[in-house]
Every structure is written in C-alpha cells, then in structure tokens.
Chain A
Amino acid sequence: GAVVSQHPSRVICKSGTSVKIECRSLDFQATTMFWYRQFPKQSLMLMATSNEGSKATYEQGVEKDKFLINHASLTLSTLTVTSAHPEDSSFYICSATRDQYNEQFFGPGTRLTVL
C-alpha cells in the first residue's frame, strides 16, 4: 500500500504557457500532500504543503501566484506552473502522508522542461 502517482512524468512546454501536474494517492486517503522541487544534484526543496479543502501553505520565497496548488480531494492535489519560464525547468515531486504517520510517500516525479 501507500502508492503515490504523478502525471505527467515529463512535460515540455513553451515559455509563457501553463502546465498542470497531478499527484494522486492511489490506495490511501491523504489529508496532507507536499510539493517539492529538485534541481540537478541538489536537495529536494519543499515548495508548499497542501491540505484537502484548504489553501496551501507556501514556503518562503515560493510565489503562490506562480505555483498554484489545489487539493481538491483526499486523493488528488494539483500543481499548476503558470506562465512558465525556462528557469522553472526542474524536477517536481509530490508526497503524501497518511493520518497519524510521519512517513511521507513520494510520487515518481515530473520532469518539466520549459523552452
């Protein structure tokens, strides 16, 4: 159990377009989901914490108007990169927690390339 999926696995888009990434918990209900970003050979940086039915909490330095997060249900959170630019190219990873557990289960990640 505790499988998290992401879609798409990779996306290439033109500068100025918006891209939506989905994160789903497949076999459990996730009240909390997290979105991370990873640059090559660097650590995973937490972007925001997403709770079902409420607004996401963004980390310092993360533009909430650029990275729109919607946690519509207990099994789905979406990250929309609006007006994407080449500097937004990165590996985006989501994770989800089950109730009362500390452990986060990670999705396989989405490679975004903005041309």
Chain B
Amino acid sequence: DQQVKQNSPSLSVQEGRISILNCDYTNSMFDYFLWYKKYPAEGPTFLISISSIKDKNEDGRFTVFLNKSAKHLSLHIVPSQPGDSAVYFCAAYSWGKLQFGAGTQVVVTP
C-alpha cells in the first residue's frame, strides 16, 4: 500500500522558471517530510525537510509547503537551473522509517 504518492512521473520546465513538484500522503501519523534528489546510479541526496508542525520551510532556491489538512506537500524550485534535472523523491517519516514516493523526473530545458 503506497502511503506516499507522487502522481506526476515527469515534469519539464524552462530554465529560470519555477518547478513545482507535488506529493500526497495518506498516513496522518507521518510527522516529518523530506525531499531528496537523485541522479541515475547514485544514492539520493537530501534537499530539504519540514516538520509536521510547520507549513513552510525555505532554503535558498528550494521551498517546501505542507498542507496537513489536505495531506499534501509541494516542493518549489525557483529559479530552475539545468543542474536541477534529476529525479525528486518525496519521503515521509513515521516510527523511524522513511517511506518514499515513486519520484518525479524533472528536466530543465534551456
């Protein structure tokens, strides 16, 4: 049962524009959410996180928004850069374990 869902398998965005990645979850026990970036044949690297007691966290070009009532979070990247092209995974924490979404492939075009 997939408790963390990323319904958009891919996203294409022009360089300089905003990338918005979405993630939905079903388990209300999740208390911490993270976004990871992953290149092919490499492990994920941590991008940004947010606690369930917050609704926004910002770090440079990356901002994560959490809407607990809708069980929805999003990652905004602005401005998008060519180096941002990768797969982005949403993950949620519960009882010491991470559950990942299926990922969204982002392609930033010139």
Contacts and interface: CB of A to CB of B under 8 A. Distances in A.
Interface of A: 4, 6, 32, 34, 41-46, 49, 91, 93, 95, 102-109, 111
Contacts of A91: 41
B99 A46 contact: yes
A102 B34 CA distance: 10
A111 B100 contact: no
A105 B32 contact: no
Interface string B33-65: 010100001111110010000000000000000
Contact of A105 (B46, B93, B97): B46
Contacts of A4: 43
Majority-rule SS of A interface residues: strand
Majority-rule SS of B interface residues: strand
Contacts of A105: 46
A44 B49 contact: no
A106 B45 contact: yes
29 contacts: A4-B43, A6-B43, A32-B96, A34-B97, A41-B103, A42-B103, A43-B4, A43-B100, A43-B101, A43-B102, A43-B103, A44-B89, A44-B100, A45-B100, A46-B97, A46-B98, A46-B99, A49-B96, A93-B43, A93-B44, A95-B98, A102-B32, A104-B46, A105-B46, A106-B43, A106-B45, A108-B41, A109-B42, A111-B41
Contacts of B96: 32, 49
Interface of B: 2, 4, 9, 32, 34, 36, 41-46, 49, 89, 93, 96-103
A102 B102 contact: no
Given A46-B97, A95-B43, A104-B98, 10 more contacts: A41-B9, A43-B89, A43-B100, A43-B102, A46-B98, A46-B99, A49-B97, A93-B43, A102-B32, A102-B49
B93 A102 contact: yes
Nearest to A10: B41
Contacts of B46: 103-105
A90 to B, nearest CB: 12
Contacts of B45: 106
